[in-house]
Amino acid sequence: MQRFQVLDFIRGCAILGILLLNITGFALPSAAYLNPAWRGDVALHDAWTWAILDGLAQLKFLTLFALLFGAGLALQIPRGSRWIATRLTLLVLIGFIHSIFFWEGDILLDYGLIGLIIWRLLRDVPSNRALFKTGVLLYGVGCAVLLIFGAMSGDRGGSGWQPEAAVLEYESYWKLVGGWEAIQNRLDLLSSGLMAMASQYGWQLAGLMLMGAALLRNGWLTGEFSQQHYRRMALLLLTTGWLIALPGIAAQWQLHWAWRWSGFYLQLPRDLSSPFISLGYAALCLGFWPALAATRCCDLIQCVGRMALSNYLLQTLICTTLFYRFNLFLHFDRLQLLAFVPVIWLVNILFSVLWLRYFRQGPVEWLWRWLTQRACSGSSRSSTLR
């Protein structure tokens, strides 16, 4: 399969950028991920940290990663249905293990499940324009469902939005102690997460994957347009995205992150703006690619992108060790947690560069490919025997 260096670079940026928000998911209660006022009062520096990250990173790098995942699926289509179905099924298995035994914030399971549903569209829809429009439509359905949920919700978000002391104590207990108690809680969270994916988030994820596949097939994601085009698109997309996002951020702050508004209605500006901003980031990379490609930093980030799956799981190992095994959970606020991010980025980069000096793929990527090959060859032999 052909490798596109620019896609490796953008994927590396996405993996590193995801940590800006995931660090909160590792080190603070689940209620803190979207709500900076999860304790009731919020310090000014914490509110500003939330606002800046919300505008620049919240959902943006996940959106970018979903677009690239769809592009990757499009690249895999020539390998055939058995290869793709096996590969995605194994990703579901990896995601399940990750979400149950390591961290409840896993995205791999969701990506694998949605990929199994939509990959046939990538194969069967010949028109890139139709594929992109279908992706936009599905993403819009997810946004509409979010508004419906808001209309159905009560005025209070309960322990999931502003947890009481006993809830916080119990969450700290099972995360720090681990074992069967943690597995049971992660199974419960996985169940509710799958319901949310089936009813709302999955529509958006499927839409993003289809859009990413369409942009790969028409050459936009592989740099086949002019640099001037990408620079103009970066300006247009980023300006549009932030014009949509900033009023929502300001409104959440003014409403002191009230449950119904910040949990549903004011999620909509974030959801609508994220594809614009994420594609704007990609357009920036594509528009300045010749200059970027000449830098050492670009080579390092490409290595991270080539080992995206291994690096994503490595971030989990590092963060769960730091915050759960070394008892640092609930010891830092949002701003303080950002100090950990460059250190973990450095570990990701060093690991990737050193590993790729001796091997062509990351360790988890190699295992994923090897298991896929074994499963496909086993199926072929079984079919031949029959």
| Confidence category of residue 150, pLDDT binned at 50, 70, 90 | confident
pLDDT tens-digit readout, 278-320: 999 999 999 999 999 999 999 999 999 999 999 999 999 999 9
pLDDT, residue 204, reads 97
Q: Return the pLDDT at 2.
A: 52
| 201-215, 255-269, 356-370: the lowest-pLDDT one | 255-269
* pLDDT surpassing 80 at residue 179: yes
Residue 341 has pLDDT above 70, yes or no: yes
* pTM listed for this prediction: 0.94
User: What percentage of the chain has pLDDT greater than the value 90?
Assistant: 89
Residue 168 pLDDT > 90: yes
Predicted pLDDT of residue 57: 96
Whether residue 374 has pLDDT greater than 80: yes
What pLDDT score was predicted for residue 205?
97
Rounded distance between C-alpha atoms, residue 99 and residue 63, angstroms: 20
Q: Mean pLDDT, to the nearest integer, of 361-383?
A: 84
Question: What pLDDT does residue 158 have?
Answer: 66
Distance CA 103, CA 91 (A): 16
How much is the pLDDT for 384? 45
Residue 380 has pLDDT above 60, yes or no: no
The pLDDT value recorded for residue 22 is 97
Residue 383: pLDDT band with limits 50, 70, 90: very low
pLDDT at residue 157 tops 90:
no
pLDDT at site 278: 98
Q: Over the stretch 50-83, which tens digit does the pLDDT of each residue have?
A: 999 999 999 999 999 999 999 999 999 999 999 9
* Mean pLDDT score across all residues of the chain: 93
